[in-house]
Each structure stands twice: as structure tokens, then as C-alpha cells.
């Protein structure tokens, strides 16, 4: 009787987050063999980020005792705009430079098939294969974290758009003031990311806390508002802080507007929400559903991701597994050249 040897080869996924670098190696069934997480300073610069990625990759191989010759490829999730066909990071504030040929750099260093993809797109692939979206053909995955973006799955295929910009919903104008974008960028009032992102909530909470001398805020931040994180905001809201509740409700309301707009255009079978906004639990989801229901003709199910922080990694592994099982002829990949 023939048996499938899932360890005949291995695949890898990488997640270049705002404050971390994660690399995981899996077998040909997607089972994680080894995983390395490294914290990083968001201000450390592109060269440091690239070195951290390569070091974490080497460590993951050593940790799993993986023969590099058996590794079939790696998919790297990058926060920013990418050209997936060429393996180029077109624009990413984390790398601090434009048109970085990350796929070629990594492929030349390790002699390995390398895919470069927007991190939210990879997260959408992860949800479609292993997450709550696995039973659906048309999926909208939305990550609400430091920024806001969407990964779009149509008929089980990732949709990037003509220039790789599909899903950049952080640029969606949802309130008055968004026409100032050309002068002020996404910090301009009126853009979805400027109102509903975790960064926006924390920035506004810090500003409010500096004017708020209540015992609650002092207790949660040890007297230093700069220590405020998203967990702090949710905790303050749970304990009755009016400022935290107001800021959260505003962010969730506008996120709901963005989700409703996306639903009206795409008509997905399910909307999956990822990112730090999920720290708020079921109350956040209930409020989000309420806003979406009030703005759409028919609302699909809206659920939190069950992959959590691993969505990008699992999407990267899925990307390489598709390449392994279907071959390069129908995949858009970074060349080894």
C-alpha cells in the first residue's frame, strides 16, 4: 500500500510584522516542524529587518534539523505593496526603500524558490485553507491592526488587482476630510486607517490620557501614557473609562462602514476579521455586525480569524504548497535568477 511521505520535502513561511519577525518550516501537509520568533524595533530600518529575516530562517532550519536540499521554497509576507510576480517590495515603511528585490536577494542567498507577497494577502490564503474560511469560495479577510488592509479571495483564488493594490482599504474615504490625503497622507482625517486602525486608537488614547489624571489611567500605564497598548484600551473600557469606550466605539463604527462598503462591492460569502481588534472579543464583533447590518442589503457571516497571529505564516505555507503540488507553470513566483 502506497503512503504519502509528508517529510519528503519541506516548505517555509515568513511574517515580517511591525514588531516581530516570524519564520516557520512545515512538512508537505502543512504541519509546523519548527518556528522562530524574533522581536524587532519598528525603527530599526530595512537592513536590520533583512538580516533578522535571514537569521531567523537559518535558526528555523537548524531547530527543525531540516536539510536545506529538501526545502522546496519560502513565501514571505511583507506589510506593504508588492509585485508578487517579480518578488519586489514596491513600497513598505518597514524597509524604508522602494522597489526592493526581496525575492531575488533571498533566492540568491539561499538558492531557494522565493515568493514575496503582501502580508494580508497571505493571511487571507491561510484563512482560506486552514481557517474559518476553508468552507467558502469567496472570502474577504480584513486585518485591523497598526494599519488596515484586506485580502480578497474570489472563487478560491487570491485577487490582487491589476497593480497589486486590491484590498488597500486603509485608503478608503469614509468621512469628511479625506480629500486632504495628497497633503497629509493616511494621517489625514477621513481615511479608514486614520480613524479605525489600532494606531489611531492608541494615538488618540495617549493624547487623552495626557490630559486625564484619573487613577485608572495612572494605574494602567504606571503613570506613563506612552505605555498604552491596545490591551490597555480594552481593559480601560471594560472598567468603565468613558474615553476608552468612546474611542473604541468610534473605531469599530468606522471599521464597520469600511466592511459594509467592501461587502457591497464584493458580495463575499464570509468576512473574516484579524488583527489586534480581535482582543476586544465578542463585544467588538457584535458591534461590528450591528453597523454592517444597518448599512448592507444582505450581510454575510462576520467572524474573527481562528488562526490569529499565525495567519500570515500559514498563508505563506499554503502558497508554497500550492507551488509544490501544481508546479511553477501556473504560479506567479519570484524567479531564481
Residues 178 and 287 in one domain: yes
Residues 52 and 143 in one domain: no
Residues 88 and 137 in one domain: no
Nearest in space to 78 (alpha carbons), one of 106, 125, 117, 21: 117
Nearest in space to 262 (alpha carbons), one of 132, 144, 134, 183: 144
* The model's pTM: 0.90
Residues 16 and 158 in one domain: no
Residues 198 and 302 in one domain: yes
Residues 278 and 319 in one domain: no
Give pLDDT tens digits for 97-115: 789 999 999 999 999 999 9
- Residue 188: count other Cβ atoms within 10 Å of its Cβ: 17
What mean pLDDT, rounded, does the chain reach? 87
Residues 318 and 296 in one domain: no
- What is the pLDDT averaged over residues 166-184? 77
| Domain assignment present for 125 | no
Residues 83 and 222 in one domain: no
Residues 84 and 146 in one domain: no
| Domain assignment present for 2 | no
CATH assignment at residue 296:
3.30.420.40
Residues 181 and 282 in one domain: yes
| Domain assignment present for 162 | yes
- pLDDT range class, residue 331, cuts 50, 70, 90: very low
Residues 248 and 277 in one domain: yes
Task: Quote the CA–CA distance of 262 and 255 in Å, as a whole number.
Answer: 11
Contact predicate 128/156, CB 8 Å:
yes
Structural domain including 213 reads: 132-306
Q: How many domains does the chain have?
A: 2
| Domain assignment present for 292 | yes
Residues 313 and 264 in one domain: no
Per-residue model confidence (pLDDT) at position 208: 78
Amino acid at each position: 500500500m502506497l503512503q504519502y511521505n509528508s517529510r519528503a520535502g519541506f516548505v517555509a513561511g515568513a511574517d515580517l510584522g511591525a514588531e516581530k519577525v516570524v519564520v516557520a518550516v512545515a512538512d508537505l501537509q502543512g504541519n509546523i516542524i519548527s518556528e522562530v520568533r524574533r522581536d524587532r524595533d519598528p525603527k530599526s530600518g530595512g537592513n536590520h529587518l533583512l538580516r533578522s529575516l535571514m537569521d531567523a530562517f537559518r535558526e528555523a532550519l537548524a531547530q527543525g534539523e531540516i536539510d536545506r536540499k529538501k526545502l522546496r521554497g519560502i513565501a514571505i509576507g511583507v506589510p506593504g505593496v508588492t509585485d508578487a510576480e517579480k518578488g519586489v517590495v514596491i513600497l513598505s515603511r518597514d524597509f524604508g526603500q522602494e522597489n526592493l528585490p526581496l525575492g531575488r536577494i533571498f533566492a540568491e542567498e539561499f538558492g531557494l524558490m522565493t515568493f514575496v507577497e503582501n502580508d494580508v494577502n497571505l493571511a487571507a490564503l491561510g484563512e482560506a485553507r486552514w481557517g474559518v474560511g476553508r468552507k467558502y469560495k469567496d472570502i474577504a479577510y480584513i486585518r485591523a491592526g497598526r494599519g488596515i488592509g484586506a485580502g480578497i479571495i474570489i472563487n478560491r483564488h487570491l485577487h490582487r488587482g491589476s497593480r497589486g493594490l486590491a484590498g488597500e482599504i486603509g485608503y478608503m474615504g469614509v468621512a469628511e476630510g479625506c480629500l486632504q490625503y495628497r497633503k497629509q497622507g493616511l494621517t489625514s482625517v477621513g481615511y479608514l486607517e486614520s480613524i479605525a486602525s489600532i494606531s489611531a486608537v492608541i494615538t488618540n488614547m495617549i493624547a487623552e490620557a495626557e490630559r486625564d489624571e484619573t487613577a485608572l489611567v495612572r494605574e494602567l500605564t504606571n503613570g506613563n501614557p506612552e505605555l498604552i497598548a491596545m490591551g490597555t484600551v480594552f481593559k480601560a473600557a471594560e472598567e468603565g473609562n468613558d474615553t476608552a469606550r468612546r474611542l473604541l466605539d468610534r473605531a469599530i463604527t468606522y471599521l464597520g462602514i469600511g466592511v459594509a462598503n467592501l461587502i457591497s462591492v464584493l458580495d463575499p460569502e464570509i468576512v473574516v476579521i484579524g488583527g489586534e481588534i480581535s482582543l476586544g472579543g465578542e463585544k467588538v464583533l457584535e458591534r461590528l455586525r450591528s453597523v454592517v447590518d444597518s448599512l448592507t442589503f444582505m450581510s454575510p457571516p462576520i467572524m474573527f480569524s481562528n488562526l490569529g497571529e499565525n495567519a500570515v505564516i500559514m498563508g505563506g505555507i499554503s502558497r508554497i504548497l500550492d507551488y509544490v503540488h501544481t508546479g511553477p507553470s501556473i504560479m506567479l513566483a519570484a524567479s531564481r535568477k
